[in-house]
Amino acid sequence: MSDYLPLYIDFKGRRIVIFGGGGVGERKARYFSGVADVTVVSPAFTPALEAMGGITRIQKAAAREEIGELISGAFLVIAATGDEEFNSAVVREAQSAGILVNSAHGESGVILPSRITKGDISVAIATGGKSPAMSKYLRQRLEAALGEEMADMVRLQADVREVLKKVVPEQKDRERLLWDILKTPAVWEAMKTSYDDALTLALMMIEERRP
Ligand SMILES: C[C@@]1(CC(=O)O)c2cc3[nH]c(cc4nc(cc5[nH]c(cc(n2)[C@H]1CCC(=O)O)[C@@](C)(CC(=O)O)[C@@H]5CCC(=O)O)C(CC(=O)O)=C4CCC(=O)O)c(CCC(=O)O)c3CC(=O)O
Ligand SMILES: NC(=O)C1=CN([C@@H]2O[C@H](COP(=O)(O)OP(=O)(O)OC[C@H]3O[C@@H](n4cnc5c(N)ncnc54)[C@H](O)[C@@H]3O)[C@@H](O)[C@H]2O)C=CC1
């Protein structure tokens, strides 16, 4: 079993510096783009990185002496060049500056997981670095199994929770009612055709069953 534990962090606006603009740098940039403030440093970029909006590109091969300056103010640094020794230098610099660092060559204390998102649902998968291919394989399997109705149920539960907080004073009762809804096949069935029908059914259940 791995010592790595998953954690969800709000990356909005956080500075991320990625070294290496190849396929791996591209994947890592895509993971954070649109949320964090991403900078990629590399002498060359893949076409997708070249076209990626909302990121900063610094086109050069970073020298070792520059690493410290380039990573200053970063929340997370990613070493994804094809040069293993350079990546190790990035890991050392970041660690001594107290900055989180991920390395494409493994073992840096931070793993980027495979990720599935469906509406507000987010699933992270990793194998403690043992088998990245297996993480990807599992992601593909789970992605196919996770239907739209799961994301819709998150929305319904959130809507119902708002109502429950107003009309059911005891937390234990609210919990029981939320689970009653989850365990009612008719609610899932209604969700397939209409969110509003499913919500109406759930609210009727609450009226009938609340203390
Ligand atoms: C430790 C880790 C560090 C990190 O990068 O965070 C790491 C390290 C390394 N990966 C390598 C290879 C591959 N990586 C992938 C794919 C992914 N790798 C990702 C994460 C991680 N990779 C972290 C551990 C995650 C875990 O615990 O499971 C994913 C999940 C997330 C992402 O990178 O975005 C993403 C899938 C995204 C998706 O699609 O869902 C594939 C699959 C493929 O491309 O088909 C291959 C080839 C097949 C294979 O080797 O398995 C090599 C060897 C290079 C060599 O052989 O020289 C190293 C270095 C080493 O092992 O030393
Ligand atoms: N962690 C992971 O998921 C995986 C890791 N790898 C490893 O990751 C490394 C990178 O893989 P790819 O992106 O496919 O390689 P790549 O060779 O396509 O890209 C590496 C990029 O780094 C740039 N670079 C080299 N020296 C640099 C420097 N000093 N400063 C800034 N940029 C520099 C290169 O110009 C190139 O654009 C490989 O060494 C491979 O072993 C490979 C597959 C998956």
| CATH number where 120 lies | 3.30.160
Which pTM was predicted? 0.94
Cα–Cα separations (whole angstroms), residue 68 to 59, 72, 96: 17, 6, 10
Q: Whose CA is nearest to atom 2 of ligand 2?
A: 104
The answer to whether residue 168 scores a pLDDT higher than 90 is: yes
Of 64, 87, 112, the last residue of a domain is: 112
Tell whether 3 is covered by a domain.
no
How close is the Cα of 139 to the center of ligand 2, in Å? 23
pLDDT digits (tens, 9 = 90+) for 93-126: 999 999 999 999 988 999 999 999 999 999 999 9
- Residue type at 187 in one-letter notation: V
- ipTM for the complex? 0.95
pLDDT of residue 106: 81
Give the pLDDT confidence of 14-67 residue by residue, as tens digits. Answer: 999 999 999 999 999 999 999 999 999 999 999 999 999 999 999 999 999 999
Q: Which atom of ligand 2 is nearest to the CA of 62?
A: 30
Which numbered ligand comes closest to the C-alpha of 6? 1
Q: Whose CA is nearest to atom 7 of ligand 2?
A: 104
Q: Domain total for the chain?
A: 3
What domain range is 129 assigned to?
113-146
Q: Give domain status of residue 7, yes or no.
A: no
> 44-83 burial, b if ≥16 CB within 10 A, otherwise e?
ebbeebeebeebebeeeebeeeebeebbeebebbbbbbee
Q: Across the chain, what does the average pLDDT equal?
A: 96
Q: Which of residues 129, 146, 163 is at a domain's end? A: 146
Query: Quick one: average pLDDT of 59-77?
Result: 98
Q: Is 80 part of a structural domain of the chain?
A: yes
108 CB near ligand 1 (under 6 Å): no
The answer, yes or no, to whether any atom of ligand 1 lies below 6 A from the CB of 132, is yes
Kindly indicate the confidence band of residue 1, based on its pLDDT and cuts at 50, 70 and 90. confident
Ligand 1 pocket check for 192: Cβ under 6 Å: no
| Alpha carbon 109 to its chain's center | 17
**Same-domain status, 164 and 122:** no
Residue nearest to atom 57 of ligand 1 (CA): 105
Confidence of residue 199 (pLDDT cuts 50, 70, 90): very high
